[in-house]
Amino acid sequence: MSQVDPRPGPTPQLGDAASHNAEPVPPKVDAVPWEARAFQGQRAGVVTRTVANVVDFLVVVAVLACGYAAWCALTFLVNPTQFSFPKPSFILQLICFEVVLFVYFTASWATTGRTFGDHQLGLRVVNAHGERLGWLGAVIRAGFCAVLPIGLYWAVVSSTNRSVQDGVLRTSVVYDWTISRRTITPRITRPG
């Protein structure tokens, strides 16, 4: 699976290499499959992003379910005799969903640049410079996405595969199958 970057560079030499070349440059290794390298770094389409959001939705639902189970368990431990399953209202459920979604998005984009759904689909959220979002950018984009999730589908008609959030915040969701991207060349084009 792993491929050695064949780009020309200083060939590591044994023995005297260290004396002639103070810092031998190790060859870069690309773990991305050969057939997927052509579109790495390009903005993703709506299908991939939708699937990633579905996965994220399931994650949030799972988190809420776990929270609900924990709440039930705590209630049962506190008063077993009068225990009954709590029935939160729709508004409360919606608020909890939004909060969890907001926190989940913020933490994911600010730390790794991708949620679990993005990771499964090989996506990454970057800013206008192709870099990972900062905490402020992640908070704003997470809030925007939690409030207006339908904004994603502006990418269907956008000529640059940008959602409403991307257009407003000058962010991009790109194909990136690598685990981490340590150095990113600022080659971002002018946001459209």
Partner 1 sequence: MPTSPENSHVVHDASAAPASVDLADAVVQGVRAGFGALSLGLGVALRTLAESVETVPRQSGPRVPASEVADFLLGTAWGAARLSGRLAAAGARITAPALGRVLRPPLVPRRLQPAYGVQLMTERWQRDRPETLAMVGRWSATALPGAVDAALGQVDVEQVAAVVLDRVDLDVLMADIVGRLDVTAITLAVLQGLDLTTIVSTVIQSTDLDRAVHDTLARLDVDQVAAHLLDQLDLTQLVLDRVDLQAVVDRALEHLDLTSIVVDQIDLGGVVDAALAQVDLTQIVLQQVDLLGVAGYVVEGIDLPEIIRESTGSVASEAVMGLRMQGVDADVVVGRVVDRMLRRRRQRRTERVLEPTTSPDLLPSAPTGKPL
Residues that bind partner 1 (CB under 8 A): 1-7, 12, 14, 24, 26-27, 29-48, 51, 120-122, 124, 126, 130, 156-157, 159-161, 172, 174-179, 181, 183-185, 187-189, 192
Q: How far is the CB of 189 from partner 1 (least distance, A)?
A: 5
CB atoms within 10 A of CB 65: 10
Question: For residue 81, with 0-12 CB atoms within 10 Å meaning exposed, 13-18 middle and 19 or more buried, which class applies?
Answer: exposed
Closer residue to partner 1 (CB): 32 or 72: 32
Question: For residue 27, with 0-12 CB atoms within 10 Å meaning exposed, 13-18 middle and 19 or more buried, which class applies?
Answer: middle
Q: How far is the CB of 46 from partner 1 (least distance, A)?
A: 6
Cα–Cα distance for residue pair 53/59, rounded to 1 Å = 9
Closer residue to partner 1 (CB): 55 or 103: 55
Q: How far is the CB of 84 from partner 1 (least distance, A)?
A: 41
Q: How far is the CB of 132 from partner 1 (least distance, A)?
A: 11
Cα–Cα distance for residue pair 31/106, rounded to 1 Å = 27
